[in-house]
A = this chain, B = another copy of it.
């Protein structure tokens, strides 16, 4: 099969690799209908994370089940499925509490590389969710978004305790931030402030329901959010970047007693304990337990209540994956969808 491999920062290639095989009775093999490039893929592409060996890339996927192991009981070949980036049994105490991405049996699905024609998914029954029927082509991007970036934005909004009438600020309006705006709107937020300097990202945030744009960063951005919220800060702040600056911007934009939901994968962050102590914020986040939200998100998508697929502003055949990474790296695209069959 054709598959994406990162060799070094900036050096991402399509190459022929062996088809994945079922290695455990709980596995499924999925033929990828659509996959994409994640903001978190750029950490390695940019050399912020070390690339120690040629690494299969990609962890977002939708597709059709091609085969299942003997122990798979609910997922069946032929089903169209949406998966998440961590495989989970969905039965342990941690899963039942809604934290499938910390399942006691979790495995990183992306280890096999979803930017490919085929993917092995461990713990298929606990990881994959089938759509009611094979979706029309125009819904595929939205279902693909559900497999990570929408689930992540949604978790950010839930972790930030977004509720009707609350004020919300979103730090970092990339694809994840834009979908956090969508989630906040759906959850009833009154005022949604998107913090971004980039016109294309501002437009996407406004399309999804942002009421205000703040272009300032750091303490200037914090001051603007406070100005907009009676001097207090927002009730709920979603952090969707993962840097020290963005985390502090999020904490400082939150009112005492408010909630920070952080979903940007943390890199080089050290939170000052004294400041956190006196901030009085709630802090929650981490790798989104996408599986918790998938059934509900699939329902919202297939009934066309939400349209998260708009985050994909570049669609390429899988063979042009390198162009897709470069476009995101250079901010020419917000998020790249890759089509293995094109």
Chain A residues in contact with chain B, CB under 8 A?
A: 93-94, 97-99, 101-102, 104, 230-232, 242, 244, 247, 255-257, 262, 265-274, 276-287
Say yes or no: A287 contacts B283, CB within 8 Å.
Answer: no
Say yes or no: A270 contacts B268, CB within 8 Å.
Answer: no
The docked-state distance in angstroms from the alpha carbon of A287 to that of B269 is: 24
Say yes or no: A94 contacts B268, CB within 8 Å.
Answer: no
Chain B positions within 8 Å of A257 at CB level:
94, 97-99, 102
Say yes or no: B274 contacts A273, CB within 8 Å.
Answer: no
The docked-state distance in angstroms from the alpha carbon of A247 to that of B101 is: 23
Copies in the complex: 2
Knowing A94-B256, A255-B94, say if A287 contacts B277 (CB, 8 Å).
Answer: yes
When C-beta atoms are compared, the residue in chain B nearest to A256 turns out to be B102
Say yes or no: B274 contacts A272, CB within 8 Å.
Answer: no
Chain B positions within 8 Å of A230 at CB level:
93
The 5 closest A-B pairs by CB, nearest first: A269-B273, A102-B256, A266-B273, A99-B257, A271-B271
Q: Closest CB-CB distance, A45 to chain B, in whole Å?
A: 19
Q: Closest CB-CB distance, A279 to chain B, in whole Å?
A: 7
In the complex, besides A267-B274, A270-B270, 7 extra interface pairs with C-beta distance below 8 angstroms are A104-B231, A244-B273, A269-B276, A269-B277, A271-B273, A271-B276, A277-B285
Chain B positions within 8 Å of A266 at CB level:
273-274, 276-277
Say yes or no: A270 contacts B271, CB within 8 Å.
Answer: yes
Say yes or no: A270 contacts B267, CB within 8 Å.
Answer: no
Q: Closest CB-CB distance, A245 to chain B, in whole Å?
A: 12
